[in-house]
Structure 1
Amino acid sequence: MDDVPGPPVLQPGAGPVRAREYLPAEVDTVLWGRLPCGDDAPVLTVEPGAEVTLDTVSHEGILEDQGRDPRAFFGAHGVDEVLDDAVAVAASDLVRDPRTDGPHVVSRPIRVAGVRPGDLVAVTVLEALPRVPYGVVSNRHARGALPQEYPRGGAPLHSVFVPTTPDLTHGLLPLAPGSEQVARFPLAPFLGIMGVAVAGSERPHSVPPGPHGGNIDLNLLTAGSTLYLPAQVDGGLVYVGDPHYAQGGGEVALTAMEAPLRVTLRLDAVAREEATARFGELAPLAETSTHLVPMGLDRDLDEAMRACVRAAIALLVARYGMDERHAYAYLSAATDFEVTQVVDVVQGVHATIRTADFR
């Protein structure tokens, strides 16, 4: 289990870089534990429609409760080559207080020229490449869906090291510590954090999602999908982080299979008037090749569900001209409402509306 075969590790700048614009995860191009705000200077400015390739670093293996030494942490599982940028972040003096800040390593913001508050920034995932052939799932510090039950025995942390198959298509999670028997599950890489900066000078905590997006943890945001986010400041100031190789709906243990990605994004702008006509209320909304995915967010899961239903009704009214009562009926008959995650303080529900039903 501890032998980790597979393709070459994608060290910073090495291997395929799809876009002309490339943003590595260097100490001066990332934040740790906080999300960008309006007072943060962009590290890159692009025109609408531009493509950007970014390297992302996972927080698993670099946090204090894992020793803040990724070479030692992953070396204990037989890993010979650890990402240089993960080592650099862990060894840096980046300001992060574990008592008040989140765990996530997040890119500093990218400005999209011409975007104004109220416009939508459309972030399309063109490619999501695993950078290493392994990941980690952690349950820590009485958090997750069962905080009074796990981790067992009062332990502060339980991390499971998960190798992948050599072709990076499946994870291999052992049935028990040291077991050679595994559960084999498909990988579907995506970014847990995709967002725009909030107005003002206070950087938000990296864990709870909100109207700015942030730690949405929507597992449908794989390659080919788009996330629409309402800009709160000029330029939008887009950022990403929290890379995953796989996540079930709910993300119940606190983390899913966390592991670093090299992602290529296309950043577009949708003017406020057009956005309102296409989508109704301006709120985080995802779109895949087959579905529209409105979301609801609230500390109370019941309220998140209600918010998602309201957003879905408003979307159907704006997009297809449905009567709201008929939209409500359609959602009940034909749409799945799914739990996005229950572990990020603000919980999430999303709806999957088939676009083929309206062609």
Structure 2
Amino acid sequence: MGLASACKTVHVGRHQKHLKWSKDEPPVLTISSGDTVTFDTIDGSNGQIMEDSDISVIDSFDLELADPVFGPVFIRDAEPGDALKIEILDLQIANWGWTAIMPGFGLLAEEFPDAHLKIWKLDRESGFAQFNDKIRIPLRPFLGTMGLAAAVKGEFSTIPPTDVGGNMDCRELTAGTTLYLPVQTPGALFSCGDGHAAQGHGEVCGTAIETPMRATLRFTVCKDCSWVTSPHFQTAPRTTETLSLADKGRYSVMGIDADLLEATKKAVQNTIKWLVATKGLTRAEAYMLASVAGDLQIAEAVDLNNAITMSLPLNIFDSEANDVCPP
């Protein structure tokens, strides 16, 4: 029997979750290199926010319960110095999701002290989430969290990312992408969660379109890859067939400051101003839209002041008028 025919597909269920990274977390599954695993995950709220929730749920939200991960999976023959190759084969989202502004959380937390919650209907057939009657967001599912156990002993929050992955919230980790993570402990101990239906680069308000997800991943141990000391990934080529909307270009807003974080905040603040002035949104709506559809990028970081851009694709808007100062 050849290696390919010996590989199998197995499953991790919603009940097989944990809230801390630890190399002492007992694995729920043991697999071999080349095997495929399906993961049924609930959303990043850990079920605290539901399809019928209203704004009152934010008042009782327990951050200690947020960002559950599902696993861990022990991969035979994975040893420190190796890399774990994770092929993202398929990502299936629920028919609903949520985005929230939570007091004290997000890039502009000091400017948005009040709670806001948006429950989305996700039209998986058409491939869109409707923001309002003039703005729709293409669905681009990905797992916000994929990671391994670190070598250090102890229990660690699932919220911050680390060199072995975790809550990276990288929108490029969608179906067709291959992720490589450095193995620091025997068996690697892989877990994942935090399904997103769509997100901009930056997730600036602190949440994307959060949703339950079924993920299908294939694992391969790459021996002696000591140069992989942080998450690496390779995306698949995008073709016009994969684009759900015709490209209409992007509108970008820049933030300038000697401090990189302050320049980033300015880029987002200026984007919010543009959206409020030209798209008829409230500041809270503009902040959430920037989080699920706006992309942050460093334009330059060498000329004393940093230049950060935030851009939005113009094809999400029904209107053809996208000037900063419309007549």
Calculate the TM-score normalised by the size of structure 2.
0.66
Runs of 4+ in 1 over 4 A off after TM superposition: none
Q: Does 1:45 align with 2:36?
A: no
- Does the CA contact (< 8 Å) of 1:124 and 1:227 recur in 2? yes
Aligned-residue offset at 1:226:
1.1
Question: 1:209-220 residue pairs with structure 2 within 5 A?
Answer: 209-220=161-172
Structure 1: distance between partners of 2:297 and 2:82: 27
CA contact (8 A) 1:102 1:205 kept: no
C-alpha contact (below 8 Å) 1:168/1:187 kept by paired residues = no
Q: What is the Cα deviation at residue 301 of structure 1?
A: 5.6
The reply on whether 1:231 has 2:172 as its aligned counterpart is no
What is residue 285 of structure 2 aligned with on the other side? none
2:101 is matched with which residue? Answer: 139
Deviations 1:235-276 (A, max 9, x none): 00000011000000111110000001111000111112xx25
Matched, 1:149 2:134: no
CA displacement at 1:119 relative to structure 2: 0.7
Label 1:75 to 1:337 Cα distance change in 2 as closer, same or farther (>3 A): closer
Q: Output the TM-score relative to the length of structure 1.
A: 0.60
Equivalent-residue separation in structure 2 for 1:62 and 1:281 (angstroms): 35
Q: What residue identity is the alignment partner of 2:136?
A: R
Kept after mapping to 1: 8 A contact 2:45/2:65: no
Q: Is 2:129 aligned against 1:171?
A: yes
Cα distance 1:281–1:51, how it changes in 2: closer, same or farther (>3 A)?
closer
d(CA) in 1 for partners of 2:180, 2:137: 29
Partner Cα separation in structure 2 for residue 140 and residue 301 of structure 1:
24
Partner of 2:13: 24
Q: 1:222 aligns with which of 157, 174, 178?
A: 174
Unaligned runs of 5+ in 2: 1-7, 55-60, 239-258, 265-294, 299-307, 309-327
State the alpha-carbon separation in 2 of the partners of residues 107 and 246 from structure 1: 20
- Contact 1:102–1:206, Cα closer than 8 Å, also in 2: no
In 2: Cα distance, 1:182 partner to 1:162 partner: 15
Residue 170 of structure 1, CA deviation? 0.6
**Structure 1 contact 133–168 (Cα < 8 Å) conserved:** no
Provide the C-alpha distance between the structure 1 equivalents of 2:41 and 2:144, rounded to a whole number of angstroms. Answer: 11
Question: Helix, strand or coil for the counterpart of 1:148?
Answer: helix
1:110 and 2:73 equivalent?
yes
- Find the aligned partners of 1:226 and 1:197 in 2 and give their Cα distance: 19
Aligned-pair Cα RMSD in Å = 2.7
Q: CA-to-partner distance for each residue in 1:142-196, whole Å, 9 max, x for gaps? A: 211111111xxx43x211111122515111113xxxxxx2521101100000000
Greater displacement, 197-206 / 241-250 = 197-206
Deviation at 1:202, TM superposition (A): 1.7
| C-alpha contact (below 8 Å) 1:102/1:207 kept by paired residues | no
Q: Distance in 1 between matches of 2:136 and 2:30?
A: 41
**Mapping of 1:1-359 within 5 angstroms?**
20-26=9-15, 29-32=16-19, 34-35=20-21, 37-60=22-45, 62-63=47-48, 70=50, 74-75=51-52, 98=62, 101=64, 103-130=66-93, 132-150=94-112, 154-155=113-114, 157-165=115-123, 167=125, 169-174=127-132, 181-272=133-224, 275-276=225-226, 280-290=227-237, 338=297
Q: Which amino acid in 2 is paired with 1:220?
A: E
- CA deviation after TM superposition for structure 1 residue 222, in Å: 0.6
Amino acid in structure 2 at the alignment position of 1:75: D
* Distance of 1:207 and 1:43 partners within structure 2: 21
Q: Which runs of 5+ in 1 are unaligned?
A: 1-18, 78-96, 175-180, 292-299, 306-335, 340-348, 350-359
Whichever residue aligns with residue 52 of structure 2, its letter is: G
Q: Distance in 1 between matches of 2:81 and 2:237?
A: 26
